[in-house]
Each structure stands twice: as C-alpha cells, then as structure tokens.
Structure 1
Amino acid sequence: MILLFAALVWLAAFVIALARRRASDAWRDVLAIGGIGAATAGFFWRLLAGHVWMPAGGGDLAQFLYPTYAFAAEWWRRGIAPLWNPYLFAGAPFVGDPQSGIFYPLNLLTFFIAVPLTFRDLEYLSVLHFFIAGAGMYAFLRWGQWQVEGSKFKVQSSTLEPRTLNLKLARPAALAGALAFEFSDLFITHFGNLNLIAVVSWMSLVVLFYRRAITDRRASFAAIAGVLLALAFFAGHIQSFLFIVLTLVLLAIWQSIDRRRTTDDEDKLSSFILHPSSFLLVVALIAFGLAAPALLPSIEFTQNTVRATYEYEQAAQYSLPPAQLIGLFVPGFFGRGPQNAWGPWDRVEVGYLGVLPLLLAFLALVLRRDAPTRFFGALALIGLALALGGYAILHGWLYQIVPGFGQLRAPARFIVLMDFALATLAAFGFDALLRALPRASEVAFKRIVRAAPWVFLLIALPSGALAYSNLILGQGQDAILFARIANATNALAFFILLFALSVALLIARATRFFRPRAWATLTLALIFFDLFSLGAYVDASTDDPTRVFDHPNAVAFFKSDGSFFRVDPRGTGVDNVWTPDTSILYGIFDVNGDNPLMLAEFDRYWEKMGSRSARAYDLLNAKYLIARKSAPVDRAKFKLAFEDAAFNIHENTRVLPRAFVVHAVRVVPDRASALDAVRADDFDLAQSVVLEIAVSYQPSAISGQPPALSGVEGSAVRIVGYGPNEILLDVDAPSAGVLVLSEVFYPGWRAWVSDLSPSPSPLRRGEKETKVLRANYLFRAVEISAGAQRVRLLYDPGSFKIGAGLFAVTVAVLISWFVWKAKKK
C-alpha cells in the first residue's frame, strides 16, 4: 500500500510536469526519477512478487522493528501516542527510545493505511527508502550546482542535453551517481535496519538544500534543510543522523574556507548573515525545534541506558578491518551475505558501489580538480578513516573529544560518508566525460586510458591465476574451506569481468567509438548490471521470518490467566523459538526484550539480584518462566504449568503481585544501599519496602515487631485501567502505607490519589497529586492513606512537554516566515 501511494505521488508529479513541458523540461527529470523507481522495483522484484523475504531470517526488521512498530501502530490507531512501553524489560520509555520512530511521518502513514501492520509492510517501507535515497541523490547531483560557474568544461553539441545550464550535471551522470549511492554497501547490508537506512535516505536532500542556501543566499532553503533534518531524526537512528550532521559541518567548513578565498565582501553585516555558518545555525535551530518532542526525551533516555558507560573497546566494536577493504572492489571475497560471510572479524559493510563508479570517481579527481571535487575527495577519506574505527586513530580521538560519541558502536557504518562522496565523484567523472574536456584534462584522460589495459592485466593475470590455482588445489580439503575458496574465486572472476568492461567503455569514450548518447546508455547499463547482479539476491530467503512468532497454544495459556503478570524467557535457551520481543505482539508483559538501549538500572538489578531463586526476582512480577525443555529449573519454586512443543512454561509459586501495599519502610541513604537491602536474605519484600526518602506517616519499624497487617494480604489492590501511559488502581487499605508497584521507576511518572469513600471529607474530596517514590531500587511506589482510594499514575515527562512546546513554536515561526515571504513577493 505504501509503495502504491508513492507511485501515485510520482504519477501526479509527472502529469503536472508534462503539462508544462513547453515552459520547462522538468518532465525529463521527473521521468528520470521514475526510472529510479523502476530500477528499485527491478532490484527487489523477487520480494515485490512475494517469492522471498528479506532479510533472510528476519534480522532486526523482524526481531526488533516489527514488534516495536506493531505496538506503536496499535496504540496510534486507538488515538493514543504511546510514550511508555510497559511490555518489555518490565517497562521502559518509548518516546525516549530514538529507535521507536513514533513521530516519523512515513511510519505514521503506514500505521494507518496498513491494518493490521504486517512484516511485508515493513519490507515495502525499506524498499521505499531505497527509492528515496536514489531520488534524493539524483536531485542532489542535478541541482546542487556542482559544476563551477565559469568552468572550462563545455557542453558538447552532440551531448544528451544541449539546453542544460552549465551549473547542472547531465542527467545520465546524476542517474549513475543515484544508482551507485542507492545500491551501495550500507543499504544492501542494512536492508533489515529500516530505521538506519530511513535516516540515511534523507541525507542527500538535507545536504542539497543546505548547499543551495549557501549558493543562492536564501535562508528559505536552509529552513527546508532543517525540516528535512528533523524528518531524518524522527526516522529513528541516532548514529545515521549524526552522519548527516557531520557532513553538514564539514561542508560548512569547506564553504567558509572557499568563500574567504573567492570573495571580498566589505559589508561585514551582510558577510555575517550570508556566511555558511549562519545558514548552518538556521538549519540546526529549525531541526532542533521540530525534532524536540523526540530529541529531548532521547537525550534524557540515552543517559540512563547501558551505553552511557561504554568503554572504548565497546564503542569500537564492528570496525572495518583493513583486510576487508578488498571488498571495495570484490564485495564477495569474504562473503557478502550473512550466510556466506567469513573471516576472524564481525561482518560489516565494506562500501562497495560498483567497479565503474570507482573508476569514474578516480577520473573526477584527475580531470576536474575544482573545489567541490577536492571536498568530496576529502570527505571520502574522512569516512574511510572513521570506518576503520579501532584500527585507526581518528575514531579514538573523536571518542575522547566529542560528547556522546562513545555511546555509538559500529564505526564501520561511517563508510556511508565515503559512499556518498564516491557516488558524487562518480557522477562528476561521468559528467566530465559527457563534455568537451579542456586540453590538459583530455591529455590526462588519454594517458589514463592508454595505461588502463596494462593495469588491468597487472591485476587480473596474477590474481586470477592465484585464485584458480587455489581452487584447483583446494579440492579434497575441508568442505567449508573449499566453499570459501570457490566463493572468493567467483567474486574475483566477476570483478575481472567488470573491470574489463569498464576499461573497454573508457577506451570507447577516448576513441569516440560511440556517440555520447549511446556511450552514456552503455555506461548506465554496466553500472546497473554490476550493482544488481552483486546485490539483488543478497540476504534473501523463501522462509517467512515471522513464523517464529506463532505460538497459539502458549499464547492461549497466558491469556487464560486473568491476573497481571510477566513472563520470563531471559537466558533460558529459547531465543530461537520465543524471540525476545514476541510478547509485545500479543500484549503479554515480559522482563526480557531485544533492545541495545536497555535501562542501566534494570540491567544492574538483573545482574545483581542473584538467581531466580532469590526473593528479589519475585518483585519483577515474573509469574511464568519460559525455558527449553532441558533447562535447569528450581523445582522448589517453579512448577510445570504448560508444555508447548518447543519449550516448557513453569509457574513461579512465590511471585509477588503487580501492585500491593506494605506498612513497613526502610529508608536508605543512596541507590547502592537500596540494592544491598533488597538483596538481603532477612528482608521480607512482601511486607516491607526500601525507600531513599522518608514518608510522611509513621511506618512500622523494620527492626521491631512485624506489622499487624500483611503487606500482600491485608489490603485490597485492583488494577482497573492499564495503558502505555497511564495506570489506574483502586486501593482499600485499613491503615496508611505504601503502594508498591512492580513497574520500573523513571523520571516523568506522576501520581494522583482520590478518595473513593462513600462520604469523603471535604479535605480529601477530589484528586490530589502525590510524589512517585523510587522503591526497592528499581520500582515505583506511592504513599497512600487509610481507606478506599483511586491511584492514577501517568507518564507525563517534562522533556516531552518542553519538546512539544518547542515544536509548536517552531512550526508557528516557519508558517509566519513563509507567509511573510509569500506576501512580500
């Protein structure tokens, strides 16, 4: 459905452009963008035809994003923005998790038009973002004004675009760069990381409008760049978002240096207003204001996750090994898909974007030698140096100097900066070859062409001979080793073929063997053949990855229990049958989950509580343990409750309820003391609570006589309403006490208490706010008085409210500004 919607939008644009073809040839560009759409459909033809599933095994798309988005879609369709996720890890912020994508417009559109949301819908959403990346790159190359005004490159009379302005790249060149970027290695490797590729897909358009703000001296373009940058943030991947920000900063530095070198503006005020850094400030302010509802909670949340304390060794995980750089030319040498990948390192992206695009990028550096070419050459080197991560020094410096940089893993993803730059340079090189070269460039090009066949032979003959000799000698060896040799040989042979065809096309251009139109068509065809042959069938499978979620009998058993409880499949050997996020798909509460941004205090509580036999475990309200059939279980505490085909379900006979009242309090001075108290063998968690601040009433002393009323049995607690942001409880307590909830404490939770007595006193009538206390190190508690009362807890984070206010102000300013600009015209 989402792809059909995108096709209709393109069709409407094409019809409008075609109707105005006498005044403009924009219809040709719309048609070219349609060609990118057709190429995207051709690349994913097996998926769109329903023959395969991607990625194979589901990856993060199935195991993490599908359950996450299904949860968000369900509550959005009910008219509620889910700010809190109560189903995983005993509860955690949802609005603060940057990966949730709950405000991303394309996600919201999908949530409402795809009912119910399926895994196929997310596959189609990934495909759509491939197209956005390609179309955005085409626009970036066509309208970024990368041809320097006054350039010596002149449009040939026989070129494809006799009416093209000098500042535009030729359409075939822009198409080549768009295909190279869209189907580059980061996108192919991360098809299943929808949020990652969604953010990167907007990179070209953000940089385009910032560039045009500088070249055209128009703040409105900077405003559009800010809107698009906020849109990218909402897509939900912090690291990719920072890639765009880093590119903008580097572009601003280069444009500032280039501006000082090429202009002499005596008007200091005008010079300041029109300075690249001023436009960057506009982009930053607008992006910050629009993204604030998600950005501010994310900043708060990430400081409370396990990543906040990453050491450098953790931050440098998934660096690009130098030995894998051969993948820039031979992507399958170490196996491109996860099924065939091998080597003594983690599988990472290597930056492949085609053999011919690499040669064209090299030609751009030789033939153009202008400021934009030098900038993108430098950007490619910076991206490569950062992608090496722990293998090079630059990444370590940034870890030490840049705040928050240490919370990001997988430095290899910085390779997207190199791919973005190389795809741009490839378009520059292609464009240069479609134009009449200056004499010096023509001489340099012919020298390269004369040397190319010898370089080809120098590479192809020894490498081919070595590969085939290893293949022949490898027969009879270990089957896995021989398969790797065979795959590497195939990959090398295909590279030799592509290299030969690329050299042949360059020779044809130098000798003018083909007309420009024919040569451009053949060049595009070879790039298409290269990228599609090596990427279209990577990481695909005929097995439905969502079958792992099908457990009708176990789900029916859980649903038959009318109480509030959690399940516990954590570390019990069932991840391959009951995946960590399965519970959220069925509305089952869980102590487990699949999220790299786990709350640090939950992780610490789990690690320090001891075994499941410990009483601290029972506070988690984990009533059912899901474990493989051979898993060791404390039989004195857990009894077999249900047998599924793939696992057993054991009932915790000592589980504590989701909410209960206690009358004894121990006050401790700090968080560490609270955890020690909870773990103490002589502390009765069913009767008492550990708090870090004193309460107003006089509780029973822990060290004295036990309280007259049992904490669990003496009071009645009933949960009457439960949603992602709000909990309603009716409490009837014979005496004042503390309502303890097996709900994770987190800033932003508020509580109100109202009297439910038949004739409440005037002083107690109405709802009164009370403080949410941190109880038993990890959980929430509310002080209550004697009698019948209703307790309402609401997740109402200040960071979100401030962000929503900033969003409203920014939208109002933008609307006012554009209305004023329109009236001024």
Structure 2
Amino acid sequence: PWSRLDWLSLLLFAGLVALFYWRILTPNLADRQSFPPGDFAHQFWAFATFEVRELSAGRLPLWNPYTFAGAPFWADVQSAVFYPFSLLTILLSAPWGFSLFALELEAIAHFWLAATFMYLFVRRITASRAAALIAALTFTFSGYLTGYPSQQLAVLEANVWLPLILFFLHRAYGGGNAAQAQSPPLPHSPTPYSSLIFAGTAWGLTLLAGHPQSALIVAYLSSAYLIFLHLTAAKALRPTEYATRTIPRLAYSVLRTIPSLLLFLLTGLALTAIQFIPAVEYTLLSVRAAGTYDNMAGGFPLLDLIQIVLPGQVSHYSPLYVGVVGLLLALWVIFSRPNRQVIFWAVVAAVTLLITFGGNTFFYSPLYLTTPGFSIFRGQERWAFATAFSLSVLAGYGFRQLTTHRASVNNYQLTNRRASVTNYQLLITNYQYPIPNTQGARRYQSLTSLTAYLLNLALLLLFLAFYGLNDSGWRPENPFFNLLSGATLLTILLFLAWLLWKFQPHLPGPLFTGLAALLICFDLFTVNWQTNLYPEQPEWHSRMPAAVAAIKQDAAQTPDEPFRVYNEFRLYDNYGVPFALEDLWGASPLRPARYDQFLAPPMPIERTWELLNVKYVITWRQELYLPSTIIYEEPAPDGMTYVHRLQTVGPRAWLVHQAQVAEDATILRTLAYPTFDRWHIVLLEA
C-alpha cells in the first residue's frame, strides 16, 4: 500500500531535479544560466509568446501572421495550444508576464513528472519501492531525457506520459494494487474500462504536447504492452492449453485485445480532436505530407553504440547512456533467469535500438515499407527514448532481483562459515538453518563477476588511452584526451559498483538502496548536468535584436502602412513571432507546401518581394536587386548584417479586372515571367 515512504520518494525526486538544474533555478544572478540557444527559445518560447498575446487579448490563437507571410497557428501541431501544462504556465506567470524563465520552469517540472510516473509504473510491476526508485532515477537523468528533448520541449512533454499510460494499462489487467498486479485477472472477466480510459487520457496529453512522432512511439509501445498483458493473462489462466495452441489461435487471442486497444486509443483521439483534426489537415498540406527514404532514414551512426558506456565520445548528446549501474543491472537481469516482463522489455530495448540507427542498418527498410509512421517521420534516433526507457525498467527489475537474492547470499555465506568447522557442525547447521539457495547466490555472484570483468576491460582501455595520448602529445584537441577522460570515469564507476555489490550482503537494505541511488545520481549528474546549460541568463535569449529595433523605429514613421520583412538567414527564423514583425520565413517544420513552391525558383526574389508586400530586407548583401536604402548595419560572425528599406513596396492587396485560367503546373512559371502583368491580371487554376 501507498505510504509515507512513497511520498518521500516523490519529494526526493523534486529535490534531485532542482539540484540537477540548480544553475537555472538559482536566485543568484551571477550563477544563473539557461538552456542553450536553439529551438527551445527560437521555436517554443516564440510560439508561446504569440499564444499569450492572443489569449490576453481575448482571441483564440488561430492564425499567425508573423511567419510564412501568414500561416495557421492552431493547426500547427507544435503550437500545443491546448496542452494543459502550457496553459498552466501561462496562467501562473500572468502576474509577472510570460518569460523564457517561466518556460524553463515548465520544462524542469516535466522531469519531476517523468520520475514520478516511472516510480508509479515500476513500483506496480515489481512490487518494490527500491526498484521503482532506481528505475525512476535512471530514466529521469538518463542521457536521452536530459539531452535533445530538453531543447525540443514538445518531445520532452510527450515522452513523460508513457510510464503513466503503462501504469493504467497494467492496472486494467493486473488488479487493484501492486501485490495483486503479480496475478493477472481472467481474460474473460470484465475489463476495468476506467483504467483504459485513464490510459487513453494520458495518451491524449501526449498528443496535445505537440510532437506527433513521439506520440506515435508512445502509442506503439503502449499497444504492444497491452497485447503482451492480455497474452500473459491468458497464459496464466490456461498454461497447458496455451502451450499447445497453434499460431492461428494465438492470432485470435491477439485480435481479442482490439476492443480494449480501440477504447484506449480512441479515448485519446476523442479528447484531442479539437487540435488533432486541424493538425492532420494542415500537415497534409505542408512540406511534411510526404517524404522519401533518404529524408526519413536518418539515425545514429553505428559508432554511437560506444556511448552506451563512453558518453560524449561521438557527439554532444549521449542519448543511449543510462549510467553504469543501470546498464549493469539491465544486462544482469536479462541473462539471469528473466521473467516474462523482463523478456518483453529486453526485446523492446533490442528492437528500438536497431531502429535508432535508421538507414544505417537494413532493419529500417521493411519498417519504412510496411509500418505506419516510418515513412512520414524523420529522425529515427528519437526511438532512443524507447531504448532508454526499456533499459531503465530492466534496471528496476535487476535491482529487485538483487535485493531478493540478499537472503540467499546471507544464508549461503553463513552456512559455509559454519560448515568449515567440522562435519558434525555441518549436520547441525543443516538442521538449524535453512538450506541455502545456492542458485540465487550464484546469480548474485555473477553480477559481481560481470562488473569485475568490465572493470578489467576499462582498466585496459584506460591504459591504451593513456599510452596513445602520451605517444601523440598531451593536447586538448587530441582524440585520446577525451577518451582518457571517459575511460577514467568509467573505471571509477565500475570500481564503485563492484564495491557496492561486494559489500551488499553486509549492508542494511535501506542503506544499500541509498548507496545505489547515490551512485546512479553521481554517474548521471556528472555526465549530463551540463549538457543543456548556456552561460547566459534567460533574458539574453529573449532580448530584441538591434536589426528588429531599427525596423520598428523606421516603420513608426508610417504607422498605418502594412509591410513584411524578408530575413535572409541573419536572424533566427521565428524572430518575427515574439517581436510582432511579419516575415516571409519561419522555423516551424510545417511550412505550407504550396507556399514553399511559390518561394522556389524560377520565381525571382524581387518578384516575391513585390507580391508579398516586403518593405525591409535583412541580409548580408550590401546591394539588392531593387533600389533600396540601408537603414542599419552591424558586424556579424560571418560578415556584415544590413537592413535595407526598399524604395518601392508592393501593396498588401490590390484590385484586378482580368482573369486568366492556367494549368496548375504552369501557374507559378507564368507568374514569374518578367512580362506578365501581375497588377492587372489574376491567374486561376484550371
């Protein structure tokens, strides 16, 4: 049953998350840092500012005039207009004004949610608070969750709901509490529909978070787990019958899960229809409506696999890293008499790991050809979320098995000590004490042996890195320099883990759990805590660029004249959204496909400016194709930035008296002709 220890665990998660991000949360401005420049500020904060302005004005944020010369906002899935925690952030920050720091707090709060939900799920399936604590820490501070998703807020906010979904699915098939969860209900008994509805609601929140690929990954994992629970429940009821069943009968059993599966999935879709339906329609009209294999097959290079044990050696992010203790426990439990749950999560970890490599292995090709979603979403490395999640669950199972073997090891050692005196004492010992579980003790010793073996390999790697660095020169840019650092940390962590396993039989249970949790935090904090820190305060990211200030000052001379800006890669793409300047570009990946064709050759750039009411051009060019006046200039890292005001500005709209019908394939080419009378003739699609 739930107790004070569980509440203390949730409180511990809050403290650890705050400690992990102390450089962002500290009130000392001299120490305060922020998330790095990138999508967090340029995409998600920019979109949030527009939503705040519209809602504050009493308007629904339907249309965004500041990107792509005007584009749907509500229908852009990454706007996440209805995501409850985004709305809560806007509401709570209202007295002080919405800021980038408020959005950072929203992101950090989701790490606490990730830990809490993982704790609930693993506590339920293992009936162990200690195992749940280990799994939650491993998942929350893993290289995946603290890496790329921290920049891509929608990915983070979509991912954290998976363990809560699985918690409700397991409750639907596993009874009312953690103890009963070990015995699945009869497959013919009434399914607890309320739990399936709660799971569907959590999946709806995943959809509302604004990252369809993450929602699809969550849906696939959840559906597979639901089917697995149904099959294991049926096998527990009729083991003999199921052992002799043929494949068609097994398929029939899978089909029987469809009602529960539909209830789960349709609940989420129904709750999010107000955002999901417009998003689907807009996506089908965007450049992301279709893709090719070459565009979608991106994934980790095979070399990234070494970052499972040596983080930071190949790239800035180490999404496959779950820590030394987590990896040891996961590997150990897989090969030491695994149960069905362990086998399921081991298979998930292996399959999703192969998917993360994308087109770098052939495994992705059949998925691209046959499986929904793989041909429309790029970046297959995002499946590392499922790999890290599975390894974290396995780490929890490993820790539960480790603590379960504790009595076996103690009995084994106690009996051996007494047996070493005399044969007579051996007989007394066998009579007075339980017969030792030597198999459990051997499995425990196998973990110690595995750790010792890996420790020897780490020492060898440390020696080779030191030799290579010493031979090629002690320079920071030397690749052996970083390898030596990684090998040193790996050796220290493996040695500490070996000591922990070695002395576990002599440590009280709570102390052993605390030391294991401390080692996990030391490992993951050391590797990941500075991954997404930037030595500037949040206000630095949200300050108005000088070029924007110059445009606003110049445009104030003619306040009633509408205009747009053409930013030629000098400012970040979404700059117009927070500073209310209408631009021809934007950062959202959902760019209207027809608009994208309009901007592409053969349309001359000067014709684009005329037709789209461009008055200002931000560029590196000192001279333009049309007469202009430079109103501002500043040095940039890659040259100069100039702000031009065009001498002739096309109108926002105009009246024509002639119409011509043109084929869809030629209409843009006709519009691009220098002799076409664009001010008096309108082209209509045939």
Normalised to the residue count of structure 1, the TM-score between the two structures is: 0.71
SS at match of 1:99: helix
1:79 maps to 58
2:198 maps to 224
Following superposition of structure 1 onto structure 2, how do residues 19-98 of structure 1 map, counting pairs within 5 Å? 25-49=2-26, 50=29, 51-56=31-36, 58-98=37-77
Following superposition of structure 1 onto structure 2, how do residues 115-126 of structure 1 map, counting pairs within 5 Å? 115=94, 116-126=97-107
Classify 1:404/1:678 alpha carbon distance in 2 versus 1 (closer, same or farther; 3 Å).
farther
2:207 maps to 233
Classify 1:195/1:335 alpha carbon distance in 2 versus 1 (closer, same or farther; 3 Å).
same
**Shift of residue 579, structure 1, vs aligned partner:** 1.8
Classify 1:453/1:393 alpha carbon distance in 2 versus 1 (closer, same or farther; 3 Å).
closer
Identify which of 134, 140, 144 aligns with 1:182.
140
Query: Is contact 2:405–2:441 with CA below 8 Å preserved after alignment?
Result: no
Runs of at least 4 residues of structure 1 off by over 4 A?
271-275
Separation (CA, whole Å) in 1 of partners of 2:441 and 2:382: 38
Following superposition of structure 1 onto structure 2, how do residues 286-685 of structure 1 map, counting pairs within 5 Å? 286-317=267-298, 319-336=299-316, 349-436=318-405, 439=437, 441-449=439-447, 451-452=449-450, 454-475=452-473, 481-482=477-478, 484-509=479-504, 512-544=505-537, 545-546=540-541, 549-551=544-546, 552-562=549-559, 563-571=561-569, 574=570, 578-613=571-606, 615-628=607-620, 630-634=621-625, 637-646=626-635, 647-668=641-662, 670-685=663-678
Separation (CA, whole Å) in 1 of partners of 2:448 and 2:400: 21
> 36-45 or 395-404, which moves further after superposition?
395-404
What amino acid is aligned across from residue 307 of structure 1 in structure 2?
R
Instruction: For structure 2, list consecutive stretches of 5 or more residues without a partner in the other structure.
Output: 176-190, 242-248, 409-436, 636-640
Separation (CA, whole Å) in 2 of partners of 1:584 and 1:457: 53
Separation (CA, whole Å) in 2 of partners of 1:631 and 1:441: 79
What amino acid is aligned across from residue 215 of structure 1 in structure 2?
G
Separation (CA, whole Å) in 1 of partners of 2:315 and 2:73: 36
1:806 maps to none
Higher helix share: 2
**Shift of residue 547, structure 1, vs aligned partner:** 5.5
What amino acid is aligned across from residue 80 of structure 2 in structure 1?
G
Classify 1:178/1:521 alpha carbon distance in 2 versus 1 (closer, same or farther; 3 Å).
same
**Shift of residue 440, structure 1, vs aligned partner:** 6.3
Query: Is contact 1:47–1:53 with CA below 8 Å preserved after alignment?
Result: yes
Q: How many residues align?
A: 616
Separation (CA, whole Å) in 1 of partners of 2:495 and 2:333: 20
1:713 maps to none
Separation (CA, whole Å) in 2 of partners of 1:38 and 1:674: 61
Query: Is contact 2:75–2:275 with CA below 8 Å preserved after alignment?
Result: yes
What amino acid is aligned across from residue 524 of structure 1 in structure 2?
A
**Shift of residue 28, structure 1, vs aligned partner:** 2.1
What amino acid is aligned across from residue 289 of structure 1 in structure 2?
A
Classify 1:309/1:275 alpha carbon distance in 2 versus 1 (closer, same or farther; 3 Å).
closer
Separation (CA, whole Å) in 2 of partners of 1:657 and 1:193: 38
**Shift of residue 609, structure 1, vs aligned partner:** 4.3
Query: Is contact 1:609–1:617 with CA below 8 Å preserved after alignment?
Result: no
Identity of aligned residues (%): 26
CA offsets, 1:373-398, max 9 Å, x none?
A: 11111111111011111112232222
Following superposition of structure 1 onto structure 2, how do residues 252-267 of structure 1 map, counting pairs within 5 Å? 252-264=226-238
Query: Is contact 1:88–1:593 with CA below 8 Å preserved after alignment?
Result: yes
Identify which of 220, 228, 233 aligns with 1:246.
220
SS at match of 2:666: helix
Query: Is contact 2:447–2:501 with CA below 8 Å preserved after alignment?
Result: yes
Query: Is contact 2:231–2:253 with CA below 8 Å preserved after alignment?
Result: no
Classify 1:425/1:122 alpha carbon distance in 2 versus 1 (closer, same or farther; 3 Å).
same
2:187 maps to none
Instruction: For structure 1, list consecutive stretches of 5 or more residues without a partner in the other structure.
Output: 1-23, 148-167, 338-348, 694-825
Classify 1:585/1:366 alpha carbon distance in 2 versus 1 (closer, same or farther; 3 Å).
same
Query: Is contact 2:602–2:669 with CA below 8 Å preserved after alignment?
Result: no
Classify 1:242/1:54 alpha carbon distance in 2 versus 1 (closer, same or farther; 3 Å).
farther
What amino acid is aligned across from residue 487 of structure 2 in structure 1?
L
Classify 1:631/1:644 alpha carbon distance in 2 versus 1 (closer, same or farther; 3 Å).
closer
SS at match of 2:386: helix
Q: Is it true that 1:280 corresponds to 2:261 in the alignment?
A: yes
Aligned CA-pair RMSD = 2.3
Q: Is it true that 1:214 corresponds to 2:214 in the alignment?
A: no
Normalised to the residue count of structure 2, the TM-score between the two structures is: 0.85
1:163 maps to none
Query: Is contact 1:61–1:194 with CA below 8 Å preserved after alignment?
Result: yes
SS at match of 2:683: strand
What amino acid is aligned across from residue 118 of structure 2 in structure 1?
M
SS at match of 2:615: strand
SS at match of 2:288: helix
Classify 1:491/1:52 alpha carbon distance in 2 versus 1 (closer, same or farther; 3 Å).
farther
**Shift of residue 472, structure 1, vs aligned partner:** 1.4
CA offsets, 1:216-251, max 9 Å, x none?
A: 331100000111111111111111111110101211
2:92 maps to 113
CA offsets, 1:758-803, max 9 Å, x none?
A: xxxxxxxxxxxxxxxxxxxxxxxxxxxxxxxxxxxxxxxxxxxxxx
Separation (CA, whole Å) in 1 of partners of 2:258 and 2:438: 36
Separation (CA, whole Å) in 2 of partners of 1:656 and 1:133: 51
Classify 1:441/1:623 alpha carbon distance in 2 versus 1 (closer, same or farther; 3 Å).
farther
SS at match of 2:146: helix
SS at match of 1:351: coil
Classify 1:235/1:645 alpha carbon distance in 2 versus 1 (closer, same or farther; 3 Å).
same
**Shift of residue 272, structure 1, vs aligned partner:** 8.7
SS at match of 2:618: strand
Query: Is contact 1:567–1:591 with CA below 8 Å preserved after alignment?
Result: yes
**Shift of residue 303, structure 1, vs aligned partner:** 1.4
What amino acid is aligned across from residue 110 of structure 1 in structure 2?
T
**Shift of residue 444, structure 1, vs aligned partner:** 3.6
**Shift of residue 449, structure 1, vs aligned partner:** 4.2
Query: Is contact 1:400–1:406 with CA below 8 Å preserved after alignment?
Result: yes
Classify 1:92/1:450 alpha carbon distance in 2 versus 1 (closer, same or farther; 3 Å).
closer
